[in-house]
Amino acid sequence: MAKTYEEVLQQIEALKNEAAQLRKNETAAAIAEAKQIIEKYQLTAEDLGLVKKGRKAKTSAAKVVKYRSDTNPDDTYGGKGPLPGWLKQKIADGRKKEDFEAK
């Protein structure tokens, strides 16, 4: 008996799902193998060509805090980029940005 259009679509969907699962498994195996090789040979990001020669990989520098919320000390702002929501709200409530300068 000939297949219907709907049956073919279901087969396509099943194959897509199978392909996605196979890719996920193969990717996980490849990552594990790569990690073993990197560890074995003590390779760096520079060795792998992930950063340009002579440049050090960025390290996370200490976060500079210029402004801190008076109600939640975890709410901070370094002064660069867009204002965070907590500071926008304080300014909208009539406060000044300078009121929150970190000491």
Write out 9-72 in H/E/C secondary structure: HHHHHHHHHHHHHHHHHHHHHHHHHHHHHHHHHCCCCCCCCCCCCCCCCCCCCCCCCCEECCCC
> What is the residue extent of each domain of the chain?
1-54, 67-100
Give 26-79 pLDDT, tens digit per residue: 999 999 999 999 999 999 888 888 887 665 656 656 678 899 988 888 889 988
Average pLDDT over residues 95-101: 90
